[in-house]
């Protein structure tokens, strides 16, 4: 199984801060990788997808980078609506797996 | 407008069975792989299983934790996806989500989730 390790698991930040979340995979991911945002009581929401060239489906302050076994999600200027939990996911191989999540809270 | 409307969550005793439904609209169900994902209270997301699309004969994949106990099926006439859960365990307690898979490699639309509680 491909294990995904997210770091940090929790971060406290202020509106306007730049934050970066890392997702490390136990095996190389060649094609299918995605980032999601989840707010309490809601379903996950797709942020971006791709394993080398990322396609964004949300505002441009969100950006993704990485390939192989290390991926990052960066929010360039944190907005109030961005306080949530973020998950990475690999869809390359079965079983599909998620990272443990990164909770972004207001400082 | 693409929608996935879930139902079927309930309180069930250990060893019991339950069937979850995911009624879709706004797209052709059988053109897409469909996934089930769950989230235990206060925990992260866990993939449960997949039903592949018509072209791949609706074949299925399951997480090891549910294989042999859970079965994913579809009813094209009802535009619905199902998750039949048997031999339920306390650790199956979770909110269950259905999600549409896009061949570019992501889940783009999700149901609202339905809570399954396994307790005596």
Nearest to B45 among A33, A44, A45 (CB): A44
Of A43, A97, A98, Cβ closest to residue B111: A43
Please report which confidence band the pLDDT of residue A98 belongs to, taking 50, 70 and 90 as the band edges.
very high
Is residue A29 scored above 80 in pLDDT? Answer: yes
- The candidate with the shortest Cα–Cα distance to A87, out of B65, B97, B59, B20, is B97
- Report d(CA B90, CA A73) in Å as an integer: 34
Pairing of strands A102-106, A10-13: parallel
Query: Is the CB of A34 less than 8 angstroms away from the CB of B105?
Result: yes
* pLDDT tens-digit map of B64-113: 999 999 999 999 999 999 999 999 999 999 999 999 999 989 999 999 99
What separation in angstroms does the CA of B80 have from each of A32, A72, B25?
A: 26, 36, 9
- Enumerate the residues of chain B whose CB falls inside 8 A of the CB of residue A36: 45, 107
Q: Is the CB of residue B35 less than 8 Å from the CB of residue B49? A: yes
- The model's confidence at residue A9, banded by pLDDT at 50, 70 and 90, is very high
CA atoms of B59 and B72, how far apart (whole Å): 9
The average pLDDT across B56-66 equals 94
Average pLDDT on B33-38 reads: 98
Q: Which of B32, B36, B74 is nearest to B53 (CA)?
A: B32
List the single range of A37-41, A58-62, B107-111 with lowest mean pLDDT: A58-62
Interface residues on A facing B, Cβ-Cβ cutoff 8 A:
31-34, 36, 38, 43-46, 49-51, 55, 57, 87, 89, 91, 94-101
Q: Do A96 and B46 touch (CB under 8 A)?
A: no
């Amino acid at each position: 199984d491909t294990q995904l390790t997210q770091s940090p698991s929790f971060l406290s930040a202020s509106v306007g801060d730049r934050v970066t979340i890392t997702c490390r995979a136990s095996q190389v991911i060649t094609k299918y990788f995605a980032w999601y945002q989840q707010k309490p009581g809601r379903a996950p929401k797709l942020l971006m997808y791709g394993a080398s060239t990322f396609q964004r489906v949300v505002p441009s302050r969100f950006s993704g980078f990485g390939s192989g076994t290390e991926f990052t999600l960066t929010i360039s200027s944190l907005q109030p609506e961005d306080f949530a939990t973020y998950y990475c996911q690999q869809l390359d191989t079965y079983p599909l797996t998620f990272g443990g999540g990164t909770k972004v809270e207001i400082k | 407008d693409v929608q996935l409307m879930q139902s079927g969550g309930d309180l069930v005793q250990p060893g019991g069975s339950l069937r979850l439904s995911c009624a879709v609209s706004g797209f052709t169900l059988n053109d897409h792989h469909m996934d089930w994902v769950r989230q235990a209270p206060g925990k992260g997301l866990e993939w449960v299983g997949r039903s592949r699309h018509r072209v791949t004969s609706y074949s299925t994949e399951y997480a090891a934790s549910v294989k042999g106990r859970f079965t994913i099926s579809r009813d094209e006439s009802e535009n619905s996806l199902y998750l039949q859960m048997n031999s339920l365990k306390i650790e199956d307690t979770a909110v269950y989500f259905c999600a549409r898979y896009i061949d570019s490699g992501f889940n783009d639309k999700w149901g609202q989730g339905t809570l399954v509680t396994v307790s005596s």
